[in-house]
Chains A and B, each alone.
Chain A
């Protein structure tokens, strides 16, 4: 059984079927991309996976357990974390505090032990701090620990979002257009970074527009258009799939 199984999920907003019967699966340690033109429903799929939206039909099974229509907090706790298409850091908090917020879900000390600064609190808080610093160093932002998130360049802010997702002890990380707004050099670096994450054992689902990123990095690709799944396969297969080309370029055959 696959690590994450998505079976026929559907989301309807009023009369609009935003996501229509989409099915896919992700195995442990894979990088899977979901691509499609603007408005195809990719981010809606992410929102359904992370519990932001309830699903109208279908099932999502993660590690053998159904997680659809659970609260976002439970899904994070189960081990799925995400980044956002428009960066959503906590801009006025320090970089390290942003990552520490990611550790919130697995913090065990309670309110009163923090109020009275019990040894348990001190020990756990110190461990969390070290963990946050280690995560930041592992992604090359060790020198920005003290800085405020809003002061960092765009590419680094993206990385902090990923660091924050890692800090939740997620096993699957959903990246929503991580290369958006990056120059070729930055997205090259991002590619390397995502591969490193995979090599560390994370499973990654990626939404992306940038074809060079998608084709380079994905183990498998799913293509969505107008909420419907139109293709799936290896990058090479997708690149030559006529339906996909049509969806992206709009009726190649007719013009030709």
Chain B
């Protein structure tokens, strides 16, 4: 049993080398990465660039939200712009109309979005595959229509303007003082940690089992219906957080901020980065948000190139750029290692 971690995982290839390198130098790599991210504002980038960085952060959160549903549970949603919009509108309205502070508004928005996720999740009890996807697509459009037509609350086509920036301890977080950037970092960090915690648990295993083989999951006693709805709720909750933050970043939202294009962009982040991986979400968001900006010189052709790149990627790397399966041994918790060692010891002394 003690040899467990030395025993074979198949790889000796590049991915294995890289993963074992990262595993070996985990602490320095993390510190260097964190230091770099924290130091970004010190490089004196323009507000335009800082805004793009924050957008990358927001789309990373969106990617992680959709990833729980699509990457891990295998339910494809093309309506996440709807959740994004509900999060953005709820938090903005709370801030504008009731002067609720940002943090409280964001939490309320995320909870409401999660509740709507529960409602949308219920059809998933009966539908599967493409049928469910069509329902989510319809959901996205319905949300947009409600925003346009419910003038009394959403201000209709005029949208909501002058959405306040978050303020902590009386200090307003803006692009200029980099407060928004640091808020983004904290939120991305928290969402990433929470997602990892969910994935590496009973719940996460149930999600993945449903994706792999729903019938077998049922026969292992997993209440698949309940877990599918739970995946919807978690995914919507995270998307709601992103929505609330997005609204305060841009300061103005209307129905056109949450079109079908946004839904496809979110799912592209998940697919390009690598479904069912955390690392992929960051790369996916970075590439897909940065590309239209760096390719401005291509003028109107840039979205042709953008589309072409996606097609080429789907042809040659359908699992996503970072979509490999870890070749490192299964991570045992310290507690599990201690238990294993404890059980092993008497046996060894008996042998010796």
Minimum Cβ distance to chain B for residue A97 (Å): 6
Q: Does A148 contact B (CB under 8 A)?
A: yes
Distance (Å) between the CB of B8 and the closest chain A CB? 7
The segment out of B94-102, B130-138, B209-217 that lies at the interface is B209-217
Q: Evaluate contact between B340 and A133: CB separation under 8 angstroms.
A: yes
Bound complex: CA A77 to CA B201 (Å): 20
Return B275 CB to nearest CB of chain A, in Å.
11
Is A82 touching B219 in the complex (CB atoms < 8 A)?
A: yes
Indicate if the CB atoms of B202 and A77 lie closer than 8 Å: no
Most A Cβ at <10 Å: residue of B194, B203, B220: B220
A90 within 8 A of B: yes
Contacts of B197 in A (CB 8 A): 114-117
Question: A59 at the A/B interface (Cβ < 8 Å)?
Answer: no
Please name the residue on chain A nearest to B214 by beta carbon. A88
Q: Which of A119-127, A183-191, A217-225 contacts B (4 or more CB under 8 A)?
A: A119-127
Q: Are B203 and A111 in contact (CB under 8 A)?
A: yes
B242 within 8 A of A: no
Contact A146 B336 (CB under 8 A): no
Tell whether A101 is near chain B: CB-to-CB under 8 Å: yes
Contact residue among A93, A117, A168 (Cβ-Cβ distance under 8 Å from B221):
A168
Q: Contact: A93 with B201, CB < 8 Å?
A: no
A109 at the interface (CB under 8 A from B): yes
Indicate whether B335 reaches chain A with its CB closer than 8 angstroms. yes
B202/A89 in contact, CB under 8 A: no
A143 in contact with B212 given A73-B222, A130-B340 (CB within 8 Å):
no
Interface size class of A (residues with CB under 8 A): 35 or more
Assess the A94–B330 pair: CB atoms within 8 A. yes
B194's partner among A77, A97, A115 (CB-CB below 8 A) is A115
Alpha-carbon gap, A55 to B223, bound state (A): 21
Do the beta carbons of B216 and A84 come within 8 Å of each other? yes
Q: A76-B219, A90-B209, A109-B202 are in contact. Are A148 and B325 (CB under 8 A)?
A: yes
Contact in complex: B339, A130 (CB < 8 Å): yes
The answer to whether A122 and B333 touch (CB under 8 A), given A72-B218, A148-B325, is yes
Among the interface residues B4, B202, B333, which one has the most CB atoms of the partner chain A within 10 A? Answer: B202
The answer on a CB contact under 8 Å between B206 and A104 is yes
Near B by CB (< 8 A), chain A positions 179-224 give: none
Contact with B along A90-121 (1 / 0, CB 8 A): 11111011001110110101010011110001
Q: Which residue from chain B places its CB closest to the CB of A169 in the assembled complex?
A: B221
Q: With the chains together, A221 CA to B111 CA distance in Å?
A: 57
A88: which B residues are within 8 A, CB to CB?
A: 213, 215-216, 219
B340 near A101 with CB under 8 A, answer no
Q: Which residues of B contact A (CB under 8 A)?
A: 1, 4, 7-10, 194, 197-198, 201-203, 205-206, 208-209, 212-213, 215-223, 230, 325, 329-330, 332-333, 335-336, 338-340, 343
Q: List 14 A-B contacts (CB under 8 A).
A: A72-B219, A92-B212, A97-B330, A104-B222, A105-B220, A117-B197, A126-B333, A126-B338, A133-B1, A142-B4, A143-B7, A145-B7, A145-B329, A146-B8
